[in-house]
Amino acid sequence: MADVKLMIAGRPYDVHCADGEEAQLRQLAAVVDEKARGIQGGTEVRQLLFAALMLADDAQEAKGKADKAEPQSDSLRAAVALAESREAAARDELRAAVVREQAALKELEALRAAPSPSPARKPANDRALLQIADRIEALATKVEQIP
């Protein structure tokens, strides 16, 4: 146990507290002293009574503000959970799109490697198919870079 000397409203008080709590006790006493000194007139007991009432009012007001803020934090937690859920769904959709794209690329490569079944194909069509294949490959590269 520690002994602490406090000055409140101009009067000394000897108080016992647990070891290590002396600094906090001094800070609290300073708050009470400030409130008590702000009350003019009356006895020391009356000053301390009103200081205690004002501090109790401050504490009640702070509790009311904390109670009002709690539902807002619940709403924020719900919004974060929804956003995380939507992000997970979007990642799943992106993975599925990558799988579909890879399958399309494999099919395209197989078509490129296969001999042309009909001699009636025109070079313009082949050029268009190659341009489409190049675009698909460019998109695949971009998709692979997305985390």
- pLDDT value for 88: 87
Residues 21/3, Cβ–Cβ less than 8 Å: no
- pLDDT value for 20: 94
Reported pTM: 0.44
Alpha-carbon gap, residue 85 to 92, rounded angstroms: 11
List of the chain residues with pLDDT < 50 = none
Average pLDDT, the chain: 84
Which residues, in sequence order, are bridge partners of residue 8?
11
- Sorted by sequence, the CB contacts under 8 Å of residue 39 that are 6+ apart come out as 46, 47, 50, 51
- pLDDT value for 30: 92
